[in-house]
Amino acid sequence: MRIGELEIRSGTSRHTLRYYERIGLLRARRRANNYREYDEQAVAELAFIRHAQAMGFALEECRELLAARRNRQLDCTRGAVLIADKLVVLEARMDELSRLRELLETERERLLASAAQQAGNCPKPSG
């Protein structure tokens, strides 16, 4: 299939498809007229990339995973280890976001209290 069809079937823009090819995530054959030609596997690999990114994998990691997958070198044990590593990263991010939320809530409360205190000392806007 050509790039336009792959774009439609995968929901991935042409720009992204070209970029993925350039960095080695996606493979395309070149026809005599220099058009890119993709096989059915490209649709599945793009779905895999999207899914892996949703789980927190970087494009470089996706490239390594795809290479292992293509060469049938990715076993279930290795996959489980990779996902466990991502879970550790995710938990750390969640803790960080929780602390940020607490900080923002505290700051909001402080500012609201300050505004309420100042409201009695500030002239009312004319309207």
Quick one: three-class SS letters along the chain? CCHHHHHHHHCCCHHHHHHHHHCCCCCCEECCCCCEECCHHHHHHHHHHHHHHHCCCCHHHHHHHHHHHHCCCCCHHHHHHHHHHHHHHHHHHHHHHHHHHHHHHHHHHHHHHHHHHHHCCCCCCCC
Query: Domain spans of the chain?
Result: 3-117
pLDDT of 10 over the 90 cut: yes
Class of 3-117 per CATH? Answer: mainly alpha
CB 38, CB 1: distance < 8 Å: yes
Closest to 21 in 3D by CA, of 57, 55, 51, 59:
59
pLDDT per residue over 25-77, tens digit each?
999 999 999 899 999 999 999 999 999 898 888 998 898 888 888 887 777 78
CB 37, CB 1: distance < 8 Å: yes
Q: Please report the pLDDT score of residue 45 as a whole number.
A: 94
Average pLDDT, integer, range 101-118: 90
